[in-house]
Structure 1
Amino acid sequence: MRTPQPRSRAPRNLRSLTGLRFLALLPVFLTHAAFEGVFSDADMSWGFLDAVGDSGYAAVSFFFVLSGFVITWSHRPGDTARAFWRRRALRVFPNHLVVYVFALALMLAAGATFDTPALVSQLFLVHAWVPDPLFIDTGNTVTWSLGVDVVFYALFPVLLVLVNRIGPNRLWYWSGATVLVVIAIPAVALTLLPDTPAMPVGDASHSQYWFTYFSPLSRTVECVLGMLVARIVLTGKWIGLRVLPATALVVVAYAVAQQLPFLYRLSAVLIVPLALLTAALAVADTEGRGTPLDNKVMVRLGELSFAFYLVHQVLLEYGHILVSTKDAAGEVLLRTWGTPAGIAVILLSFAVSMVLAWLLHTWVEKPAMRRWSRRRRRATGHSSAKASAT
């Protein structure tokens, strides 16, 4: 089915959303940096973690909504499922495989434990299906979200057909129903899954946390919401909400979420404001209204965001181990620093991650997309005739 187009010709590239990708990565990086506990002062370490709060979880939810939105937005009539899957695979796997080897090298240098089943499942991006923390907390831990992306990409051609069958006047109703599913996921986890073993932080068990946060099917619902919101904009059914009010809604929702149980803070409360902000920025770009996120610097940083996401956590975790010492029993004694030095370590980790991201984007991601994302053209004209003659 042909995807309805917006009333005005919309740019294919949504620069503001590209810029926002980088801003959304900052809380993810800071959350992982806070988990490393680099400060000698315990109050400083806990204060840093409290300041970061649940912002990293909110950012991850935004990325899933954004994925559904942008892929639906950029879909063009005539695009085949096979071509789509080829582009998505080339977007994900070259970077993933390079960083996977990089992570294994760091683990080896750091003397980390290798769990073969977990690492093999991570190689093929199926580890997020396993409700065992070990399968997430090894190697490049952030790749669980790529496992969600792979599931969404596999289902997208079918999901697009279903979403395109929804009448424009009913898109908001379906979006509301999808939001209710997102809200129901933590309730289902708390009701049906066991309360033990409990997580070290948060009022939930490991299985409840996995079902709400890591399960590919649970998170794919957020991608579907992004698809529906994209269709709302493309069919001219957007409510006209501007960027500033949408941003304010995100801030208010975040404050409200802090008063609720842990699992509801992950995405249930923020999912609506994040979807509205995504659409508001897209509309601002289509209407030619400038935003602070659409300048060249922010767009360039946004283009590096995927590579940065892949490299930053392994650098933080195993880099920290490499500069630390071990006791007589071989246990790692993670090094800590005073406040100024600890801040410098975090900034240095960020800078090194940016350099590695640039190298990965420039020498792996872009060449792979240029070389293999499009099917080679068949020989035509003179070449075909010559081939027939010989």
Structure 2
Amino acid sequence: MTSIPGAGRDRLPSLTGLRFWAALLVVLYHLSRQVGAVPGLSETVWYGRSGVTFFFVLSGVVLAWTYDGARVPAGVFLWRRFARIWPLLAFSVGLSVAVWAVMDRAVSLKAVAATLLLVHAWFPQPVMFTGGNPAAWSLSDEAWFYLTFPALLALLAGRRARVWAWTAVAVTCAALVLWPALSGLTPTTRNWALDYLPLTRLLQFVLGVVAGLALKHGWRPPVSLPVAAGLVIGWHLVLIPWHEAVPDALWYSPYNASQWLSAPLFAALICAAARADLDGRRTGLGGPWMLRLGHWSFAWYLIHEIVIRAAVFHWGKPAPGSATLMFWAGVLVVSLAAAGAAYHWVEHPAERWLRGLPGRSPANHARPPAETDRTTTSR
């Protein structure tokens, strides 16, 4: 592979647009399960929790792309990631706890503390890894990815292409082995180990890291963006008859498969979109509104379930049919508007303030070029 000249300066706006669609997949998943189904659509997004797998792979791709060759000290990198995710995490936890209080639901203070410390996904008790803000469990996994990333980059950067290829094969095969290997655990422990545990989810992040390194050095994915998108959509359609045949309680259900078998497909989609940007081709994912919605996606992910919970508590679940569709529309509009406000008034200004603290951004450790463009930053 030959290195792309000036690759760090290139923008990858399509990845920001994809972030919005992945967040939407998660939102529709929660609406289907917590509010009520919309015939035709809910069947397709019934396993939309796979959008979290997309974000785990995307994190690896973007961080590898951004920091390969940048020589940023690990401490500076970790502070930047803390500034990126923690302020909005704290805000969303406070909002979530306030809604729980209005609902007169007890809140575990230990769970809230573990969430704010970003260690809650390490506990197998559901009250811990869903306490505070249930959607925030994935940030505990992301925190683990960030801690391991400097070592992963030191181990994988500068290697030959075949090392990256074999690493991608190894982590994909490990996921295929791990899924049935944990089948003997109790359902609660198995679901925690497969769905939440940072150690197992690290496989998806590593797949993203090697894909990002390969992209940075000129690799072209074997499929085009339309084909990659078609594969992802087709995969979710395959899950519909699987769901009708196998209950989610079984270890070989489509619920687990949707998260464990989708990582290579998401990696192909991300790489195809990035490659299209690098080649100067229009994708429909990088327009002004797509970028704006992509920027809001992190806040939307953290806030939407809180809005759903509050709406169901206040109005109750709607009747099937048009009432459900209207309820969905209201939640989508309100939660997305709230996400936009949170991005502009909390997330973005808090990150800039934390990064600007004295001693946190030394002049001799300037940002890598790609990180100055917010469209390339993962969640």
SS at match of 2:107: coil
Contact 1:64 1:222 in 2 (8 A): yes
Contact 1:73 1:230 in 2 (8 A): yes
Report how far residue 310 of structure 1 moved. 0.8
* Residue identity (%): 28
Contact 1:284 1:291 in 2 (8 A): yes
1:270 maps onto 2:262 in alignment: yes
Report how far residue 37 of structure 1 moved. 3.1
1:81 maps onto 2:99 in alignment: no
Equivalent residue for 2:132, pick from 106, 128, 139: 139
Q: Judging changes above 3 Å, is the alpha-carbon distance between structure 1 residues 300 and 37 closer, same or farther for their aligned structure 2 residues?
A: closer
Unaligned runs of 5+ residues in structure 2 are 243-251, 364-379
Equivalent residue for 2:172, pick from 161, 167, 179: 179
- 1:370 aligns with 352
Report how far residue 247 of structure 1 moved. 1.7
- 2:290 aligns with 298
Question: Taking structure 2 as the reference length, what is the TM-score of the superposition?
Answer: 0.85
C-alpha distance in structure 2 between counterparts of 1:225 and 1:190, whole Å: 23
Contact 1:90 1:373 in 2 (8 A): yes
C-alpha distance in structure 1 between counterparts of 2:227 and 2:14, whole Å: 16
Contact 2:38 2:321 in 1 (8 A): no
Equivalent residue for 1:26, pick from 9, 24, 33: 24
Contact 1:182 1:267 in 2 (8 A): no
Superposed, 1:171-320 pairs within 5 Å as 171-191=164-184, 193-194=185-186, 205-257=187-239, 259=242, 261-262=253-254, 264-320=256-312
Larger radius of gyration: 1
Superposed, 1:42-53 pairs within 5 Å as 49-53=42-46
Report how far residue 228 of structure 1 moved. 0.4
Higher relative contact order (CA 8 A, sep 6+): 2
1:350 maps onto 2:350 in alignment: no
Contact 2:90 2:116 in 1 (8 A): yes
Contact 2:38 2:324 in 1 (8 A): no
Q: Judging changes above 3 Å, is the alpha-carbon distance between structure 1 residues 345 and 6 closer, same or farther for their aligned structure 2 residues?
A: same
Contact 1:209 1:263 in 2 (8 A): no
Report how far residue 165 of structure 1 moved. 4.8
Q: For each residue in 1:124-164, what CA deviation from the matched residue of structure 2 results, as whole angstroms up to 9, or x when unmatched?
A: 22111111222234331011000000010111111111111
Question: Taking structure 1 as the reference length, what is the TM-score of the superposition?
Answer: 0.83
Report how far residue 118 of structure 1 moved. 2.1
C-alpha distance in structure 1 between counterparts of 2:109 and 2:52, whole Å: 27
- 2:11 aligns with 13
Unaligned runs of 5+ residues in structure 1 are 39-43, 195-204, 325-333, 379-390
Q: How many residue pairs end up in the alignment? A: 348
Report how far residue 20 of structure 1 moved. 0.6
Runs of 4+ deviating beyond 6 Å: 45-48
Q: For each residue in 1:202-248, what CA deviation from the matched residue of structure 2 results, as whole angstroms up to 9, or x when unmatched?
A: xxx11111111111111111011000011111222334421112222
Q: Aligned-pair RMSD on alpha carbons?
A: 2.2
Of 117-126 and 305-314, more deviation after overlay is shown by: 117-126
